[in-house]
Copies of this chain bind each other. A is one copy, B any other.
Amino acid sequence: MEPRGQRSGRTGRPPRLSQEAILVAAQRILDTEGPERLSMRRLAREMSSTAMALYHHVQDKDELLLLLLDAHARRYPRPVLPSDPHTRLLASAQVLHDLLADCPWIAEVLSFDDFVSESALWIVENIVDAAVECGMALEDAVYAYRVIWHYTAGVLAIRAGRERVQARAERPEHREHALEFLDSVDFPRLNAVGRRWAGLTARDDHRKGLEAVVAGLLEQKAGSGAGETAAVAGAGAEAVRGCPCC
């Protein structure tokens, strides 16, 4: 909890490094050279120190990444969220995405925990709360949060994966080949899609899907009377539930 840098006893040599300074230097490497270049050794070099000195201020690399995430979340401006529950559910889920979208190294740290980071817990609280105010039971609201989190994590992980590949090899022919390949394959729907697939790889993928996910979650809560969900556990033979309000 309390950074080891600031002690009160003032014995021994004064520290040259501090967790604060380490996080700043790490963030600088992240920004200028990308997440794949951030290593304990590289970071130590950045600070004109040795890799081992870092271990006096962070437990290991994983903790470093977690601290980095937490610091980012702490810096992130807390927006005023709408009061209408449905809109707030959407808006807070969007904030979750936007906050994490700035952390391309997030994929390396995905789900040490289900709640992203202590400094981002207010977002989780908002999502769960909004879901409850939308009429969901607390358990369902928590589940809704997790579905939203999974969707968001998927968007982020795939985006990070793509950026990783693009960063390492500057070859757009890769993508070219992939699209020509879609034409050559023997699946009518995919052939029809063909090159149009490329246009769909926009950076703001996330939003429309999020709306659908939220809408589906809200619809589901309306149709959950008895233990229906238990009945639809099989892979391919469950009934189609109609719209619950007609």
Contacts and interface: CB of A to CB of B under 8 A. Distances in A.
B212 A161 contact: no
Nearest to A233: B207
Interface string A123-152: 011001100100000110111101101111
A27 to B, nearest CB: 22
A17 interface: no
A187 B205 CA distance: 31
Contacts of A159: 111
B157 A110 contact: yes
A112 B157 CA distance: 11
Contacts of A112: 161, 165
Interface in A217-246: 217, 219-220, 229, 232-233, 235-238, 240-241, 243, 245-246
B138 A87 contact: no
A241 to B, nearest CB: 8
A1 B246 CA distance: 53
Chain A interface size band reads: 35 or more
A197 to B, nearest CB: 7
Main secondary structure of the interface of A (DSSP, over half): helix
Given A157-B153, A189-B138, A217 B212 contact: yes
Contacts of A111: 157-159, 161-162
Nearest to A207: B233
Contacts of A98: 235
A193 B138 CA distance: 7
Interface of A: 79-82, 84, 86-88, 90-91, 94-95, 98, 107, 109-115, 118, 121-122, 124-125, 128-129, 132, 138-139, 141-144, 146-147, 149-155, 157-159, 161-162, 165, 178, 181-182, 185, 187-190, 192-193, 196-197, 200-201, 204-205, 207-209, 211-217, 219-220, 229, 232-233, 235-238, 240-241, 243, 245-246
